[in-house]
Amino acid sequence: MAHAEAIPTPPVWGVMAEFPDITSIYKAAHEVRDAGFTKWDVYSPVPIHGMSEAMGLKLSRITFIIGAGATTGVLGAIALQIGISAYEYQTVVGGKPFAAWEPFTPIIFELGVLLSAFGAVFGMLALNKLPMLYHPLHKKERFLRVSDDRFVLAIEADDPNYDASATGAMLKKLGATHVDVVEA
């Protein structure tokens, strides 16, 4: 007698809920935040004013990365130019002292801007975990329309408050028009 093998079910990534408009997803974001969820996100075809506050997002770390890049660029430019003009190649130009700051200004500015721009680009890529070649939400047909006219709130199964049935029911109660489980 042959035994039927059980078909393995893929692990659950989380739950995705579609909302009809900006007002309903904004209110749902407030409720999800107040319910204590920490691993969730809102996807929308347009920027929603105040959504960062509704989600309880903190100040982005990218500003500190950019500031560190600018500071490193400015201090590096000053150290490089003073080191070269005052110590390595002492050349009197126009009777100015070796460590005069005036001729250093363009290089200080340019290196500060350059390193802050590199910090912005590479910091953004690192903080957003990019490039991400695959995401489980991309398998859902409804999610693919989020850039056109859909408003989606997705909660990850890794969240400590996630419960397979209760989370979906909560989102439905908050006004979701469609709730779908997302497999990993």
Helix (H) or strand (E) holding 63: helix 62-82
Among 127, 150, 171, which residue terminates a domain? 127
What is each CA distance from 180 to 16, 30, 121, 139, 171, in whole angstroms?
5, 20, 34, 12, 10
For residue 2, the model assigns a pLDDT of 57
* Residue burial 6-32, b: 16+ Cβ < 10 Å; e: rest: eeeeeeebbbbbbbeeeebbbebbbbb
For residue 116, the model assigns a pLDDT of 98
Instruction: Assess whether 49 and 82 both reside in one domain.
Output: no
Residue range of the domain that includes 39:
12-55+131-183
Instruction: Assess whether 107 and 137 both reside in one domain.
Output: no
For residue 101, the model assigns a pLDDT of 84
Report d(CA 180, CA 142) in Å as an integer.
9
Q: What percent helix, strand, coil does the chain show, rounded to 5?
A: 50, 15, 35
Residue 78 lies in a domain: yes
Q: Would you tell me how many other CB atoms lie within 10 Å of the CB of residue 40?
A: 21
Residue with tokens 């969240």: 159
For the entire predicted model, the pTM comes to 0.75
Instruction: Assess whether 111 and 156 both reside in one domain.
Output: no
Asked whether the beta carbons of 64 and 122 are under 8 A apart, the reply is: no
Q: Which two tokens stand for residue 132?
A: 């991400």
Residues of the chain with pLDDT below 70 are: 1-4
Instruction: Give the CB-side neighbour count of residue 170, counting CA atoms within 13 A.
Output: 23
